[in-house]
């Protein structure tokens, strides 16, 4: 009983939220670099306001982030001290192909990640690599319209070939697109899409989604060809919708909202467009342009495992007045009266994790991997940088307990668990440093002040013990 003996405990980060070094080693600019902190961020990440370069009015936290580009050795040593079996990180596309459409990759970028992976291996840490975590070279955004353009499939294929070949034997676990369903909710952050006057937004989003899905299938194909040991996963921003009431209208609405997100994983895992999606696209008058062979590719190259992030469950309602109150969030959700929320209003629901795991395992019957989970909170360090983050320990312990129930009591096959932002980093949603997830505190604030010094929080030793006991001692 309990977790498998080779359970992959660890933590997760994303290039643009931690590396900084945005212009180092020949790196090109990406969509994720040009999203500032502050009131314009939301219109920019949702594609309502165009931003393709820096200006003097805004602060761009990703430029320096927590400077992991220069400090990864120190940080990986700390992960190793906690006993990490895996470290999930992402490759910045624009380090490997600075513009995105070059014929040859940038050696300095390839070498950087090779060094990082070797550093992990030194401690027996298995890298889990997200190929794209919300990033797209800005040159591809400006000159091709990012993922709305079919050519992106070929550019992504070049990226995959370059990294699969170079890192053969160093990396085995790959995720094709972080939170692929984010393209619906934050299309610029998720896929470099912004909208022009007269665009049919849904048409643009689903066409871009088709390109990503084909690209994901091609990546899976190449990964398996390059090394049969490679394991490729899809990645869903999970957290299902509960109906607000037992009114069947609410129940049906919650199903519809779930399907919007499941759609992507249905294609990546089952290999075909589901019937409900074809009908919905038809009703909305959306026509997806496909090339000959696309459907065969999708069918032939499905993913090996299902990975997902889970922070919160959500609530759906068919009542338009109640729904109106939910606007302005990345994921629209009615407040659940039975749950407490984080300081950022994310509702805390450990049992929801068990429910999500059951839903996904029932639906796909492939191994699951929880690659993000955690509590974004304000931490107050003492003068040594120590934080007594019992609230974080409580959140994680409750979620690990629920995940154990899903394994022990429900029989779900779970490969591993990586907490989000194992070291404090920049928030994707808000651009803040103040919203912290880490076991390791980083001295930096929302305005970019601070020494960047790392220090252990109380949760550091707690997580070390959790890993050492394979999740028995919470």
| Span 168-187, contacts to ligand P53 by CB under 6 A | 178-179
**Interstrand relation of 173-177 and 231-237 (parallel, antiparallel or unpaired):** parallel
Is residue 221 a contact partner of residue 165, using CB atoms and an 8 Å limit?
Answer: no
Residue 14 is a binding residue for ligand P53 (CB under 6 A): yes
Cα–Cα distances in Å, from 352 out to 185, 376, 403?
A: 21, 18, 10
Whose Cβ is closer to ligand P53: residue 415's or residue 422's? 422
220, 309, 342, 418: residue in contact with ligand P53 (rule CB under 6 A): 309
Whose Cβ is closer to ligand P53: residue 143's or residue 446's? 446
Residue 318 is a binding residue for ligand P53 (CB under 6 A): no
CB of 313 to ligand P53, least distance (A): 12
User: With left for phi above 0 and alpha for psi between -120 and 50, is residue 124 left, alpha or beta?
Assistant: left
9, 174, 244, 420: residue in contact with ligand P53 (rule CB under 6 A): 420
34, 68, 218, 237: residue in contact with ligand P53 (rule CB under 6 A): 237
| Span 364-383, contacts to ligand P53 by CB under 6 A | 372, 376
Q: How far apart are CA 37 and CA 34, in angstroms?
A: 10
CB of 14 to ligand P53, least distance (A): 5
| Listed ranges 18-26, 389-397, 399-407, 425-433: which one lies at the site for ligand P53 (CB under 6 A) | 425-433
Residue 331 is a binding residue for ligand P53 (CB under 6 A): yes
**Interstrand relation of 440-442 and 454-456 (parallel, antiparallel or unpaired):** antiparallel
| Span 426-465, contacts to ligand P53 by CB under 6 A | 427-430, 435
Is residue 230 a contact partner of residue 172, using CB atoms and an 8 Å limit?
Answer: yes
CB of 162 to ligand P53, least distance (A): 23
Helix (H), strand (E) at residue 171? none
| Listed ranges 116-124, 194-202, 384-392, 421-429: which one lies at the site for ligand P53 (CB under 6 A) | 421-429
CA angle (162, 185, 370) in 5-degree steps:
60
Helix (H), strand (E) at residue 414? strand 414-420
Q: Which residue is nearest to ligand P53 (CB)?
A: 429
Whose Cβ is closer to ligand P53: residue 49's or residue 330's? 330
CB of 11 to ligand P53, least distance (A): 12
Please enumerate, as own/partner, the contacts of 181-184 that have beta carbons within 8 Å and a separation of 24 or more: 181/236, 181/237, 181/260, 181/261, 181/263, 181/264, 182/134, 182/237, 182/330, 183/147, 183/208, 183/209, 183/212, 184/209, 184/260, 184/261
How many residues belong to the site for ligand P53 (CB under 6 A)? 17
Residue 330 is a binding residue for ligand P53 (CB under 6 A): yes
Whose Cβ is closer to ligand P53: residue 239's or residue 367's? 239
Compute the Cα dihedral for 199, 205, 206, 208 and give only its sign: positive
Residue 92 is a binding residue for ligand P53 (CB under 6 A): no
Q: How far apart are CA 341 and CA 338, in angstroms?
A: 10
CB of 311 to ligand P53, least distance (A): 6
Comparing C-alpha atoms, which of 466, 325, 291 is closest to residue 392?
466
CB of 182 to ligand P53, least distance (A): 7
Q: Where are the beta strands (DSSP E) in 52-206?
A: 86-90, 126-132, 173-177
Tokens 């312990």 belong to 397
Please enumerate, as own/partner, the contacts of 21-25 that have beta carbons within 8 Å and a separation of 24 or more: 21/64, 21/67, 21/69, 21/70, 22/62, 22/63, 22/64, 24/69, 25/95, 25/106, 25/108, 25/109, 25/112
Q: How far apart are CA 10 and CA 245, in angstroms?
A: 37
| Span 15-34, contacts to ligand P53 by CB under 6 A | 17
167, 195, 311, 441: residue in contact with ligand P53 (rule CB under 6 A): 311
What tokens appear for 134 in the block? 């919300």
| Listed ranges 115-123, 143-151, 191-199, 424-432: which one lies at the site for ligand P53 (CB under 6 A) | 424-432
Active site residues: 179, 372
Three-state SS string over 341-359 comes to ECCCCCECCHHHHHHHHHH
| Span 128-147, contacts to ligand P53 by CB under 6 A | none
CB of 237 to ligand P53, least distance (A): 5
Whose Cβ is closer to ligand P53: residue 106's or residue 430's? 430
Whose Cβ is closer to ligand P53: residue 32's or residue 412's? 32
CB of 372 to ligand P53, least distance (A): 6
Under DSSP, is residue 160 helix (H, G, I), strand (E, B) or coil?
Answer: helix
CB of 243 to ligand P53, least distance (A): 20
| Listed ranges 26-34, 71-79, 277-285, 422-430: which one lies at the site for ligand P53 (CB under 6 A) | 422-430
Residues forming the site for ligand P53 (CB under 6 A) = 14, 17, 178-179, 237, 309, 311, 330-331, 372, 376, 420, 427-430, 435
């Amino acid at each position: 009983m309990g977790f498998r003996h080779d359970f992959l405990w660890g933590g997760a980060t994303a290039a643009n939220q931690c590396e900084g070094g945005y212009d180092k080693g020949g790196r090109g600019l990406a969509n994720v670099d040009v999203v500032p902190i502050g009131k314009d961020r939301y219109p920019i990440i949702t594609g309502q306001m165009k931003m393709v370069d820096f200006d003097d009015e805004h602060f761009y936290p990703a430029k320096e982030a927590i400077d992991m580009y220069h400090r990864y050795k120190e940080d990986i040593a700390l992960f190793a001290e906690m006993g990490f079996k895996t470290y999930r990180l992402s490759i910045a596309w624009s380090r490997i192909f600075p513009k995105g459409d070059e014929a040859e990759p940038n050696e300095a970028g390839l070498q950087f990640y090779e060094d990082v992976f070797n550093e992990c291996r030194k401690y027996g840490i298995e890298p889990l690599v997200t190929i794209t975590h919300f990033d797209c070279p800005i040159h591809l955004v400006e000159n091709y319209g990012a993922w709305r353009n079919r050519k992106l499939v070929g550019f992504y294929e070049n990226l995959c070939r370059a990294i699969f070949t170079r890192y053969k034997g160093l990396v085995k676990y790959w995720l094709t697109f972080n939170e692929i369903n984010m393209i619906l909710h934050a299309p610029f952050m998720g896929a470099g899409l912004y909208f022009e006057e007269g665009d049919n937004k849904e048409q643009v989003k689903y066409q871009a989604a088709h390109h990503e899905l084909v690209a994901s299938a091609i990546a899976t194909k190449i990964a398996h060809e390059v090394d049969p040991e490679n394991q490729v996963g899809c990645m869903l921003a999970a957290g299902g919708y509960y109906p607000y009431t037992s009114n069947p209208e609410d129940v049906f609405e919650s199903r519809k909202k779930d399907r919007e997100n499941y759609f992507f994983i249905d294609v990546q895992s089952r290999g075909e467009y589901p019937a409900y999606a074809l009908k919905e696209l038809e009703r909305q008058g959306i026509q997806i342009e496909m090339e000959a062979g696309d459907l065969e590719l999708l069918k032939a190259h499905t993913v090996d495992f299902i990975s997902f992030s889970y922070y919160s469950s959500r609530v759906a309602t068919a009542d338009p007045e109640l729904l109106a109150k939910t606007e302005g969030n990345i994921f629209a959700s009615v407040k659940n009266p039975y749950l407490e929320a984080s300081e950022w209003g994310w509702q805390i629901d450990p049992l929801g994790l068990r429910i999500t795991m059951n839903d996904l395992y029932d639906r796909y019957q492939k191994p699951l991997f929880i690659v993000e989970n955690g509590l974004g909170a304000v931490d107050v360090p003492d003068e040594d940088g120590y934080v007594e983050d019992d609230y974080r320990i409580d959140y994680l312990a409750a979620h690990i307990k629920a995940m154990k129930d899903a394994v022990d009591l429900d029989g779900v096959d779970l490969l591993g668990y990586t907490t989000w932002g194992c070291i404090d980093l920049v928030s994707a949603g808000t651009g803040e440093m103040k919203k912290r997830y880490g076991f390791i505190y980083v001295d930096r604030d929302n305005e970019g002040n601070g020494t960047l010094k790392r220090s252990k929080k109380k949760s550091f030793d707690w997580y070390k013990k959790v890993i050492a006991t394979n999740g028995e001692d919470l």
